Structure 1
Amino acid sequence: MVLLTVFLLMQLARPQKNTSSAPAGKAFVDTFKVGKRVNAILAASCYDCHSNSTNYPWYSEIQPMAWLMEKHVKDGKEKLNFDELPSYGRRKLNSKFTQITNQVEQGKMPLNSYLWMHAGSRLSMEDKELLVNYFNSLADNE
């Protein structure tokens, strides 16, 4: 009974959700002329943790999953937030583009812990190549 009571009381603590009125990545897409295919990959694999709008699955309503997701999103946005990239200076942008490329090439993103529940977010070799080429072109052109 004690465990059940603790579990039920945990449900009362609700973290703030990462939502915005603007669609995830909108400023990034508009500023950097992102193609439909690249944006589809970013939307499926990146924006949930790296933008100001997270698409929350059903299990995020149950504690302690909501707390874990809140921390995951907070940490992801601290590293990279696509919605903030357009406001960065050239030097910081190039650094972020290089970091993105390195993370994708090394298979570090999306995180395995994210892929467990979002299998459709796994990047194929073609997806990786497309992202790497896109971000390299941004770094080269800017």
Structure 2
Amino acid sequence: MYEQVGRIDFSDNRVDPKTGTIRARAIFSNPKAQLLPGQFVRLHLDFGTIKEAILIPERAIVQSQADKMVMTVDKDNKVVPRTIKTGRANGAGLVQIESGLQAGDTVIVEGIIKAKPGSIVKPVPASAPQAAQ
């Protein structure tokens, strides 16, 4: 494992359709000559931390024509669809919401198919276990 921190100084603006990759170049300090020219490596890129981001489970997002939507619950427990704009996925099943939701909004994650706009629902926290019927 190579522990040095580097920086990207070039990245292509298109994906190679044959390999699904993007060409990039990074510059690293190489004091022990561990890296060789043309060597294949796998990188972990840290794009920084986004503070106060809204993250929701990816499975709560519904594709509607050209838009992405989520079903929310208003103060009267009625289902309200919201158009959203998504950002980056975090790799753990959560997606950043750039617009369309506010902190504290209740999003329907389970039973989206049954949640019709305007219908009244009984919200249950996502962490609560399902009761046997």
TM-score after normalising by structure 1 = 0.19
Q: Which has the higher contact order (CA 8 A, sep 6+)?
A: 1
Higher helix share: 1
Which of the pair is proportionally richer in strand? 2
